[in-house]
Amino acid sequence: MVCFCFLVDQKIVVRRSKAAAGMCSRCRRSARVADMQTVTRFCYIPFYWKSWKAIVCSLCGNILRSYHK
Ligand SMILES: [Zn+2]
């Protein structure tokens, strides 16, 4: 039997966002300041979180700028 449990994946979650000055370079919609969180999972169990801030587009989700610590 083959076990597919060696799966590590990463998910980017927007925890909250608020309006910000700026414009998306792709679709010209307004930008938002968002608290982002990268969740790394192993066997679908989260074991590592990293929070960071980013300027994202409110429409297409394009990340205009990120502030990784
Ligand atoms: Zn956009």
Answer yes or no: is 26 within a domain. yes
Q: What domain range includes position 44?
A: 8-64
What's the rounded Cα separation, in Å, for the pair 65 and 56? Answer: 7
Please check whether residue 51 is in contact with residue 35, taking contact to mean a CB–CB distance below 8 angstroms: yes
Answer yes or no: is 56 within a domain. yes
pLDDT of residue 69: 62
Answer yes or no: is 69 within a domain. no
C-alpha 24 – ligand 1 centre gap (Å): 5
C-alpha 5 – ligand 1 centre gap (Å): 36
C-alpha 31 – ligand 1 centre gap (Å): 8
pLDDT of residue 5: 57
pLDDT of residue 7: 83
How many domains does the chain contain in total?
1
C-alpha 3 – ligand 1 centre gap (Å): 40
Q: Give the residues of the chain that fall short of pLDDT 70.
A: 1-6, 69
pLDDT of residue 44: 85
Answer yes or no: is 44 within a domain. yes
